[in-house]
Amino acid sequence: MRNFRVATIWGIPIKINISLLVFLPVLAWLIGSGTQIETYAGVVGALAGTELDLSVLRAGSTPWLIGTLAAVGLFASVTLHELGHAWAAMRYDLEVESITLWILGGLASFKQLPREWNRELAIAVAGPITSILTGVGCYAALLVLPDSAPVLLFVVGWLAVTNIILAVFNMLPAFPMDGGRVLRALLARSRPYASATRIAARVGTYFAILFAVFGVISFSPLLLLLALFIYGAASGESRTVALADLLEGLTVGDIARPTRLTVDADATVEELVDLMFAERATEFTVTQGGEVVGVVTVADFRELSTAQREADTVADLMLTDLPRLDAAMSAFDALVELDTNRATAALVESAEGTHVVSREDFSSAMEMRRLAQADGPF
């Protein structure tokens, strides 16, 4: 979904997802209506050492004002929470690509997460610590606000309580939430990073199921959405770490294949079919004037009729918008590049010339590494 850049802090783009823009009015209504004001008025009054007049808080459009201020304040608090993660990461010279606010809170995107358990631990706890400090700051402000400003008292007091709840909730070991990352960091002290990730992801999956059950029982769409997010993110990160582990130490040049089987771009598809039968191969590199220009596979012409195969050339079918990668690029980064470009193959430039690498090559390399369990390329 679309994101809108609204600010830049410490060189980090702060973005708002469109889901948040849709959800903010709903959140404002939820806070300003129902039992929210009634429930929190007593708590805030106790914290402030005064009694809030419910009739004033419910009068006219005041509930909407309270809901709007509280909703905006909540996501400002979430931004501070994510900036806490970002500050800790930047202390380790890690690049923070962006912070995105969306319907379920905030996401700080890092170019690369550290594998050192102590660094991940520090980055993970920095967010909840920031939320606690924000809550304490709101409580301090609550003590100095005049009793003649009941709306402001309520909103600041509500934010004080909510930030503490936010910190506690985020420390649940539901990977990839902060508590789940803390769990992985602690597990990684005594076991391989991939193994620690698998265990933390499994715990996160259990929490996702728990959230889904409570979401159904309480008719809470947000809990169900959170359950789906945790389940998907935990599974996805577990797979990503497993892939990175299998490809560790490999460059894309180690995996790429020399362009041994080539076909000219001007050849007809029928000629290509004959060549595939002769060579017992289903994929060819396409050349034009001696230069590699693309890749063609059996899937590209499978649906063509006999007449089309005789009339069309390889140039009409080949994949040409392939990423061009340097042979020294790490294999994992190259695989990410393929995913980013939604490409099935890439051209790899090296001192020996242009080679080709496909998703099947990555799969074969990872299977060989898994079976051999070797530190070298294969």
* pLDDT of 247 over the 50 cut: yes
| Separation between Cα atoms, residue 114 and residue 182, nearest integer Å | 13
pLDDT tens per residue, range 5-61? 889 999 999 999 998 888 888 888 888 876 778 888 888 888 888 888 888 888 888
Q: What is the pLDDT of residue 376?
A: 46
Mean pLDDT of the chain: 83
- Residue whose C-alpha is closest to residue 286's, from 255, 317, 325, 243: 317
Tokens of 359: 């998703």
Q: Letter for the amino acid at 10?
A: W
Look-up of token digits 């698998």:
198
Q: What are phi and psi of 109, to 5 degrees?
A: -100, 125
Query: pTM of the entire structure?
Result: 0.74
Q: Which residues contact 358 (CB under 8 A, 6 or more apart)?
A: 283, 295, 344, 345, 346
pLDDT tens per residue, range 248-298? 778 888 887 766 667 777 777 777 777 778 777 777 777 777 677 677 766
Tokens of 337: 């590049």
Thinking of the domain 252-372, which architecture would CATH place it in?
Answer: Roll (3.10)
What is the band of 198 on the pLDDT scale with cuts at 50, 70, 90? confident
- The fraction of the chain above a pLDDT of 90, given in percent, is 30
Count Cβ neighbours within 10 Å for each residue of 19-37 and write b for 16 or more, e otherwise. Answer: bbeebbeebbbebbeeebb
pLDDT tens per residue, range 140-165? 999 888 888 889 999 999 999 999 99
- Residue whose C-alpha is closest to residue 181's, from 195, 210, 161, 201: 201
Q: What is the pLDDT of residue 127?
A: 94
Contacts made by residues 315-323, CB under 8 angstroms, sequence distance 24+:
315/265, 315/266, 315/286, 315/288, 316/269, 317/269, 318/265, 318/286, 318/293, 318/294, 319/294, 319/295, 319/343, 319/344, 319/345, 320/293, 320/294, 322/294, 322/295, 322/346, 322/347, 323/347
Domain ranges for the chain: 3-247, 252-372
Q: In what order do the strands lie in the sheet with 291-297?
A: 262-264, 283-288, 291-297
| Separation between Cα atoms, residue 41 and residue 231, nearest integer Å | 36
User: Distance from CA of residue 297 to its chain's centroid?
Assistant: 32
| Separation between Cα atoms, residue 40 and residue 31, nearest integer Å | 10
Find out whether the peptide bond into 150 is cis, omega within 30 degrees of 0. no
What is the band of 320 on the pLDDT scale with cuts at 50, 70, 90? low
Tokens of 283: 């994929």
Q: What is the pLDDT of residue 302?
A: 66
| Separation between Cα atoms, residue 39 and residue 57, nearest integer Å | 12
* pLDDT of 378 over the 60 cut: no
345 bridge partner residues: 358
Q: Does residue 127 contact residue 82 with C-beta atoms inside 8 Å?
A: yes
As to burial, measured by CB atoms within 10 angstroms (0-12 exposed, 13-18 middle, 19+ buried), residue 110 is middle
| Separation between Cα atoms, residue 238 and residue 246, nearest integer Å | 13
Q: In what order do the strands lie in the sheet with 257-258?
A: 257-258, 353-358, 345-350, 324-326
Q: Does residue 13 contact residue 4 with C-beta atoms inside 8 Å?
A: no
| Separation between Cα atoms, residue 253 and residue 84, nearest integer Å | 39
What is the band of 210 on the pLDDT scale with cuts at 50, 70, 90? very high
SS3 363: helix
Q: Does residue 109 contact residue 98 with C-beta atoms inside 8 Å?
A: yes
| Separation between Cα atoms, residue 101 and residue 98, nearest integer Å | 10
